[in-house]
Structure 1
């Protein structure tokens, strides 16, 4: 059963509401599909938005589940995020839309916005669990094949947790929504699907002789964003985009 996303004043979609996706399962599917998040936080007297690896635990300890990001304990942005309200976004580009006017050119996409108070993960078990999730988000099953992280490595790596309680999602799919007079003018319109493909693995130059690509890595190659995750077709609208 799908659970609806409950908007708050900070996550309620006001512009392009026809593209809102109110389904929490669709949000979790997008977060599982994406690879890079952008975290926005105020550092000193200015905002900073940084790309970061991430992972999601839908059953995590925070309300609505938990989104984890990690970084160096010495990172200024990470120290500034602790206890602060942050904004995390994840976007997947699914296509380029060629309208019959500049006004109606657009992109097909799935985009999530998560707003919440970040907490520093200080529980040792949750800390290790979060780091394993981040590794497995990149290459599923990889964490179990690796040696345990050393105390020094764990001490050097901080993990932030952001609750998934306040989140919103928008999506666009399909072709352009053009003015009737532009259609009959005979200009071509359409869209160019875009997908992400993971190519064949490239071995490290210092691999020991005889090592083959492990199953978890091989399973990730030639992987592509699933077409079924590209969201609903756009509703007819005179608005741009």
Structure 2
């Protein structure tokens, strides 16, 4: 859904409006969230004392709020405790595109930029939920079967949250797109699909006898696309979405 749609969308501003190739820009919640939920790693950009930084980290979404975590001693977390402006990005590379001229070489992709003010999660109840969500969001029901985190582990882990104030998705999914006259040239062109596919699980060699892989991990089976497994896990954890 592009600009002007009646479905729930993020507001447009000079920050999130797609300036080049407006036809590839999407602002509706459904498109933005679908791209976010197909990933577990993001990059968070912010500025400290005039110096830009970009930190890769695991994240997850709850409605229109994003969470990510890290060491309590990290620079990113220390400087986001008072509502620092950040930009969180996610990108999926879907194909390599080889055209009949260098200018038209490209790639199919899906990407999101989300903007907001990040804050350090200090509320005990919210942090307790985040400790569970950072595992169960990706591996549903797993926390209940694990050893509980001890006080030192909880103290060493901090969480950042950000309400998405503005966001945009940019999608290219057209494959080879040459100029009309170039299709008459005797030059080879193709689209090379790119996918992240799960391999066969490798059980820990120190498993105790009789410990078996739980059925809740069936979604992470050999040959599945990672993004499909992540999306299924998201809706298992947040079925009302």
TM-score, structure 2 normalization: 0.85
Structure 2 equivalent of residue 78 of structure 1: 77
> Could you list the runs of 5+ residues in structure 1 that have no partner in the other structure?
59-64, 230-241
Provide the secondary structure at the position in 2 that maps to 1:38: strand
CA distances 1:150-196 after superposition (whole Å, capped 9, x unpaired)? 22211111100011121111111131221122211122223112121
Cα deviation for residue 213 of structure 1 reads 1.5
Cα distance in structure 2, aligned partners of 1:81 and 1:8 = 23
Structure 1 equivalent of residue 55 of structure 2: 50
1:40–1:50 Cα contact (<8 Å) kept: yes
Cα deviation for residue 115 of structure 1 reads 1.1
- The within-5 A match list for 1:112-151 is 112-151=112-151
Answering whether residue 102 of structure 2 is matched by residue 95 of structure 1, we say no
Answering whether residue 17 of structure 2 is matched by residue 12 of structure 1, we say yes
Cα distance in structure 1, aligned partners of 2:175 and 2:168 = 23
Paired residues, what number?
Answer: 221
Structure 2 equivalent of residue 200 of structure 1: 200
Provide the secondary structure at the position in 2 that maps to 1:140: coil
- The within-5 A match list for 1:57-72 is 57-58=62-63, 65-72=64-71
CA distances 1:15-60 after superposition (whole Å, capped 9, x unpaired)? 22110123211111111111210011123442111110001000xx
2:107–2:175 Cα contact (<8 Å) kept: no
CA distances 1:74-122 after superposition (whole Å, capped 9, x unpaired)? 1112212222101100111111111111111111111010111101111
Provide the secondary structure at the position in 2 that maps to 1:220: coil
Answering whether residue 43 of structure 2 is matched by residue 38 of structure 1, we say yes
Structure 2 equivalent of residue 219 of structure 1: 219
Over 6 Å off, 4+ runs: none
